Chain A
């Protein structure tokens, strides 16, 4: 799914919700996943001028979950550990988007190359 404008955020979140409902995720986990997704997608818009997200259902043993891959071609993040610190922001914001998103999901992975872009992958297990 392409994310180019602020107007794309709500349809995207609804899409994530559809997937979460489809695998029977609990309301609390749904809300956590959607909120984390919302943070990452907003970062993508704010710092990288948009990008794309892949939404997929994955299985591991008996558990299934949702994997979201946020891919942008923005400026990248110089110091990832710093960006993951609570309160760090280059955008005069709260600086809790990345660290907060990490706390809300089961698995969190971030790769970034300066000048090339950023890829954030998150997984939320149905019962995770």
Chain B
């Protein structure tokens, strides 16, 4: 017996669609919180239409056939948007795999008396959907990576606060690795604040920087140079002992830069530059006078 699969599937579209939707609705991983029923209906309908239009008796055995490109495109679009919406890989995969179940179910009903043919078709459908699954997951991961990249850049922005510690003194604690893009953000934020507050001293605290290699050092040196061009003095503080030793062995020359071991000592030094003095109030004396 010879069967025109693509015709058969197209004829049974309605059954496949209903069975598929049903599969999705009863699936415990269904995210009703993330997607509405209508939206799911729409997406499912679009995918099924495209699939049934693309599938033929020859390409059903060739998952990599370019004729499935439009199916892959839809899957990629769905997968990316689901990754961004916060679906899990399992939930995203369930979408495509439940369609496979629906199709196989219909084939079973339609070809009741020819197990050999049924087996052959099921195998082909399986291979085809394996391929669709791979496309789905690949794109899903891509979508997630984009989310991560976006978050990374957000973190870069929020993690560079410029603090006005005193009139004329700014402090900028740097946490994490100072790469090129980060340096740009740090430098811009710092120079901007120097202008706005007309500060004359900036303290870059690197206690939170895990390692100072030549690239980080170069970025620091550039930032210091830029600060000086703005007419402000720049002090680097928070150099831990192990970092100091490493810098020396590496051969980086920081001798032209004012460095301090802690933010406190950098602040103290800044006060002396501004000719400010911090003193303990002499409470006892006052008490004696008044008492």
Binding site for B on A (CB under 8 A): 6-7, 9-10, 13, 27-28, 30-32, 34-35, 38-39, 42, 86, 93-94, 96-97, 99-101, 103-104
* Contact among A6, A28, A100 for B245, CB-based, below 8 A: A28
Q: Are B214 and A39 in contact (CB under 8 A)?
A: yes
**Distance in Å: Cβ of B191 to nearest Cβ of chain A:** 23
Query: In this complex, what residue of A is CB-closest to B145?
Result: A7
Q: Are B250 and A93 in contact (CB under 8 A)?
A: no
Query: In this complex, what residue of B is CB-closest to A30?
Result: B242
Interface residues on B, range: 20 to 34
| B251 interface hit (Cβ, 8 Å) | yes
- Indicate whether A94 sits within 8 Å of B252 (C-beta atoms), given known contacts A10-B177, A28-B245, A104-B246: yes
Q: How far is the CA of A24 from the CA of B246 in the complex (A)?
A: 18
Partner-contacting stretch, out of B126-134, B205-213, B229-237, B271-279:
B205-213
**Distance in Å: Cβ of B142 to nearest Cβ of chain A:** 14
Query: Mask for B71-93, Cβ within 8 A of A = 1, else 0?
Result: 00000000000000000000000
14 A-B contact pairs sorted by A residue (CB < 8 Å): A7-B152, A9-B177, A27-B242, A31-B211, A31-B243, A39-B250, A42-B213, A42-B214, A94-B214, A96-B250, A96-B251, A100-B252, A104-B246, A104-B250
- Indicate whether A96 sits within 8 Å of B242 (C-beta atoms), given known contacts A6-B179, A35-B250, A103-B249: no
Q: Are B179 and A13 in contact (CB under 8 A)?
A: no
Binding site for A on B (CB under 8 A): 149, 152, 177, 179-180, 210-215, 217-218, 241-243, 245-246, 249-252
Q: How far is the CA of A13 from the CA of B213 in the complex (A)?
A: 12
- Indicate whether A96 sits within 8 Å of B245 (C-beta atoms), given known contacts A6-B179, A35-B211: no
Q: How far is the CA of A101 from the CA of B250 in the complex (A)?
A: 6
Query: In this complex, what residue of A is CB-closest to B149?
Result: A7
* Contact among B149, B180, B215, B249 for A32, CB-based, below 8 A: B249
Q: How far is the CA of A38 from the CA of B195 in the complex (A)?
A: 35
A sample of 7 more A-B contacts (CB under 8 A), given A7-B152, A32-B242, is A28-B245, A31-B246, A32-B245, A38-B213, A39-B214, A86-B251, A99-B251
**Distance in Å: Cβ of B27 to nearest Cβ of chain A:** 35
Q: Are A104 and B249 in contact (CB under 8 A)?
A: yes
**Distance in Å: Cβ of B259 to nearest Cβ of chain A:** 17
Q: Are A97 and B242 in contact (CB under 8 A)?
A: no
Q: Using Cβ atoms and an 8 Å threshold, which residues of chain B touch A9?
A: 177, 179
The CB with the most chain B CB atoms within 10 A, among A28, A35, A39, A93, is that of A35
Q: How far is the CA of A32 from the CA of B251 in the complex (A)?
A: 12
Q: How far is the CA of A101 from the CA of B252 in the complex (A)?
A: 12
Q: Using Cβ atoms and an 8 Å threshold, which residues of chain A touch B245?
A: 28, 31-32
Q: How far is the CA of A91 from the CA of B251 in the complex (A)?
A: 18
Query: In this complex, what residue of A is CB-closest to B152?
Result: A7
Q: Are B177 and A39 in contact (CB under 8 A)?
A: no
Q: How far is the CA of A104 from the CA of B250 in the complex (A)?
A: 7
Q: How far is the CA of A59 from the CA of B162 in the complex (A)?
A: 47
Q: Using Cβ atoms and an 8 Å threshold, which residues of chain A touch B152?
A: 7
Q: Using Cβ atoms and an 8 Å threshold, which residues of chain A touch B177?
A: 9-10
**Distance in Å: Cβ of A124 to nearest Cβ of chain B:** 12
- Indicate whether A28 sits within 8 Å of B241 (C-beta atoms), given known contacts A13-B210, A13-B211, A38-B211: yes
Q: How far is the CA of A97 from the CA of B180 in the complex (A)?
A: 16
Q: How far is the CA of A86 from the CA of B213 in the complex (A)?
A: 15
Q: Are A94 and B179 in contact (CB under 8 A)?
A: no
Q: Are B241 and A93 in contact (CB under 8 A)?
A: no
Q: How far is the CA of A34 from the CA of B251 in the complex (A)?
A: 15
Q: Are A31 and B250 in contact (CB under 8 A)?
A: no
Q: Are A96 and B211 in contact (CB under 8 A)?
A: no
Q: Using Cβ atoms and an 8 Å threshold, which residues of chain A touch B210?
A: 13, 34
